[in-house]
Amino acid sequence: MPAVEIRPNVYWIGVNDRTTDLFEGLWPITQEGVSYNTYLINDEKKAVVDLVKGLKTDEFFDHIAEIVPVPEIDYVIINHMEPDHTGVLRTFRKIAPKATILGSAKTKNLLASFYGITENVRAVEDGEMLSLGQKTLQFFSTPLIHWPETMMTYDTSEHILFSCDAFGGYGALRGAIFDDECTDLNFYQKEALRYYVNIVANFSKAVLRAIEKLTNVPVEIIAPSHGLIWRKNPQLIVDLYKKWAEYAGGPAEPEITLIYGSMYGNTETMMNAVARGISRVGIPLEIFDVARTHVSYILPALWSRAGVMVGAPTYEGKMFPLMAQVLEMAALKRIANKKVAYFGSYGWSGGALKNLSAIVEPVKWELVDSFEFVGKPTDEELRKGEEFGARFAELIKAGS
């Protein structure tokens, strides 16, 4: 895609990435892709806001050159040091050595350790203004979204907030770069939630602090570094991020995520009975086989739903390992304060339930019910399993 003018003399100059399989080496994006959005402000002084990962370098520099020769760039603003936004920095420096790199004080340190760059770097203060001629930029310190150095850049004349990772999401741009051009907002909202929970959720307090801090800043366009640019309804993505951040401390939706794993089908047979019981009560239910679904796709459901039904057998005295991995990742991401119920098959002495309690104890999941059985469930046990599912669903529905 060529550079796109988003407001007079402000351009999107990003690139799409459809070949990286794992974002941060961890989160699958093979199907969805991701964009690295970066921006050029072509004023008397010329500034680039954020860069791209170390790929598609020619395309990125060609975008800039469509508008201004790269060596004439005066400022490179680094809102966030993660290499998906700085990968081409050393190359940039070689092509445009006179450009001053601007970032927070912490960025200055990180630049030295990540890229060995110390010259012509200036730390900006929270609230500092930078005149480019006609336009003035302002920098807002918004630490820990999701690194300690993160900040946002605000175009005071066009009211554009360059928010970097905040308000971003997975999903390569499909021609449309603005929310109002996009015919599948649901896709971007879903991918923004997955991105949020995979990457940002652990820092939800910082997100709420940043939203609060910027309340009185008039924003007409939210221009994040991943995903759509929000110009028709910038409040939509802010409200979504706020809602998701509030799940960290407050109640989530009265809905259930059922995660299960099964080696020989005994727990899976029971899972269908439990799901039947939950569905009878009529609350939303999402089901994941932990052996077949990457945890990246499971975390958003766990984050936004109040109830977790865990079904997994005992394995060598412990929880079925793939289930343990999902629960450990949920704990690592501080997906806290859930109500959980457990069911599972075992062969002789069990152990999965005890292991579950130990894993979720630090994140305060309340184990409200459990149902264990030996080997293949009997018809009577399946009937009990259905009641067990219904009981849990009633509890979640009641929000108690």
Selected range binding ligand FMN among 10-18, 236-244, 308-316, 360-368, rule: CB under 6 A: 308-316
264 touches ligand FMN by CB under 6 A: yes
Q: Binding residue for ligand FMN (CB under 6 A) from 25, 348, 379, 398?
A: 348
Selected range binding ligand FMN among 79-87, 177-185, 259-267, 297-305, rule: CB under 6 A: 259-267
- Name the residue number minimizing CB distance to Fe ion: 82
**94/89 Cα distance (integer angstroms):** 9
255 touches Fe ion by CB under 5 A: no
Binding partner of residue 119 among Fe ion, ligand FMN, none, CB cut-off 5 to 8 Å per kind: none
Selected range binding Fe ion among 76-84, 86-94, 310-318, 373-381, rule: CB under 5 A: 76-84
3-class secondary structure, 121: strand
Residues 369-398 that bind ligand FMN (CB under 6 A): 375
User: H/E element holding 6?
Assistant: strand 4-7
- Got the DSSP string for 309-361? EEE--EETTEE-HHHHHHHHHHHHTT--S-EEEEEEEESSS--HHHHHHHHHG
Nearest distance, CB of residue 379 and ligand FMN, angstroms: 17
Nearest distance, CB of residue 188 and ligand FMN, angstroms: 37
> 223 has which bridge partners?
162
354 touches ligand FMN by CB under 6 A: no
**66/63 Cα distance (integer angstroms):** 5
Nearer to ligand FMN, 204 or 262 (CB): 262
- Got the DSSP string for 265-312? SHHHHHHHHHHHHHHHHT--EEEEETTTS-HHHHHHHHHHEEEEEEE-
313 touches ligand FMN by CB under 6 A: yes
Nearest distance, CB of residue 198 and Fe ion, angstroms: 11
What is the distance of C-alpha 63 from the center of its chain? 27
Nearer to ligand FMN, 243 or 376 (CB): 376
Q: Binding residue for Fe ion (CB under 5 A) from 82, 149, 255, 381?
A: 82
**58/70 Cα distance (integer angstroms):** 12
| Site of interaction with ligand FMN (CB under 6 A) | 262-268, 313-317, 345-351, 375
